[in-house]
């Protein structure tokens, strides 16, 4: 699964869900950033990123996630994460990502808390 890159987007009226699969490094991160920027430009400022199929993230992936949080913050938007492994959740808390974005166990909870 880690060898495969994939990004799926589902948009609803008020929000959009981005689901990633594969290693969140520069390549996947840039794709994610581009998709997120596109959604923000289209007026979607309530985003959920589901990382259930992304079990591996490097520091560039983290910096790209921070970039998306900042871009959303400029538009006073909200970003919630879901599907994180225990290590990812600890990493997100340690990297202060959790201060600016919500972390929820599943997509349903992440959407409900936008």
Indicate which single residue of 55, 89, 98, 102 sits in contact with other proteins (rule: CB under 8 A): 55
Strand partners, 50: 19, 82
Q: Where does this chain touch other proteins (CB under 8 A) — which range of 8-16, 76-84, 86-94, 102-110?
A: 86-94
Angle between helices 59-74 and 26-41 (to 10 degrees): 10
Rounded least distance, CB 64 to other proteins, Å: 8
Indicate which single residue of 7, 95, 98, 111 sits in contact with other proteins (rule: CB under 8 A): 95
* 25 touches other proteins (CB under 8 A): yes
CB within 8 Å of 66: residues ≥ 6 apart: 95, 97
Yes or no: say if 57 and 22 are a contact pair by the CB < 8 Å rule.
no
* 42 touches other proteins (CB under 8 A): no
Indicate which single residue of 52, 53, 73, 111 sits in contact with other proteins (rule: CB under 8 A): 73
CA 62, 63, 66, 71: dihedral to nearest 10 degrees?
-140
Contact residues: other proteins, CB under 8 A: 2-3, 23, 25-27, 30, 55-60, 62-63, 66-67, 70-71, 73-74, 87, 90-91, 94-95
């Amino acid at each position: 699964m880690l060898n495969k890159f994939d990004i799926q987007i589902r948009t609803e009226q008020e929000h959009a869900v981005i689901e990633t699969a594969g290693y969140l490094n520069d390549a996947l991160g840039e794709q994610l950033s581009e998709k997120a920027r596109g959604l923000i430009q289209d007026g979607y400022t309530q985003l959920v990123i589901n990382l259930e199929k992304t079990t591996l993230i490097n520091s560039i992936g983290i910096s790209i996630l921070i970039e998306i949080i900042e871009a959303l913050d400029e538009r006073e938007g909200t970003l919630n994460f879901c599907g994180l492994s225990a290590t990812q959740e600890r990493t997100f808390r340690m990297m202060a990502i959790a201060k600016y974005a919500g972390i929820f166990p599943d997509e349903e909870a992440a959407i409900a808390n936008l």
